Chain A
């Protein structure tokens, strides 16, 4: 019986195992123990890499890449809103949600890669500053959670069957969670700019 449950509910068990691992690591204060050892890596990124050198020396290049980062984040937000508001039935009602979610997902992958690459450059120029910002870590955590949610949970379910065969409340729940987590990524990013 245990084997049957294990084979039938692999994805669900994986979610709870990941949650359990995170809780155990937090209780053992592993994150707090690792945090100080990350500082040399951030200092190296700023002081000893071409990214850090360009980011701190050439303001025009930094501003250009920063603008590209903002554009990719804006595109990412637009793709997320287009998909999730369609799943909620708020907009694009005449187009099947399968068409929109599959179409935007392809663009989402490319845009996410571009956002991460430009984001690494932007962070390299101010690496020793962002290291001490809690809001930077909130953004990284929200980004990791959002990407994992999209690639491991949301898209596999949405592409597995016609959306009419999925419980609508599950689709709505996923859409609201997706909007909230990507809003957090965007808001935390702007908060880094404000700090």
Chain B
């Protein structure tokens, strides 16, 4: 890496903030997905997204 592309304070802050925010948002969406699958399982016994007899 050239001297001009050395990681300075702003770059380090950008990496840290990006990782923290990305992790937080992904955690939220994965948790939402899990709860949706759990709801589907409660409704249909198993999460049959395709070939579901209740959906024509």
Residues of A within 8 A of B (CB): 8-12, 14-16, 19, 138, 142, 145, 149, 153-154, 156-157, 160, 165-167, 170, 173-174, 176-177, 180-181, 184
- Residues of B near A177 (CB, < 8 A) are 17-18, 21-22, 25
Residue among A173, A176, A184 making CB contact with B28, cutoff 8 Å: A184
- Residues of B near A156 (CB, < 8 A) are 10
Q: Is the CB of B15 within 8 A of A170?
A: yes
Residue among B12, B20, B22, B25 making CB contact with A11, cutoff 8 Å: B12
Q: Is the CB of B7 within 8 A of A167?
A: yes
Q: Is the CB of B13 within 8 A of A14?
A: yes
Given contacts A165-B4, A165-B5, A167-B1, contact A11 B21 (CB under 8 A): no
B26 at the interface (CB under 8 A from A): yes
Residue among B4, B9, B21 making CB contact with A12, cutoff 8 Å: B9
Q: Is the CB of A19 within 8 A of B25?
A: no
Q: Is the CB of A12 within 8 A of B25?
A: no
**Which of B15, B16, B21 has the most CB atoms of chain A within a 10 A radius of its CB?**
B21
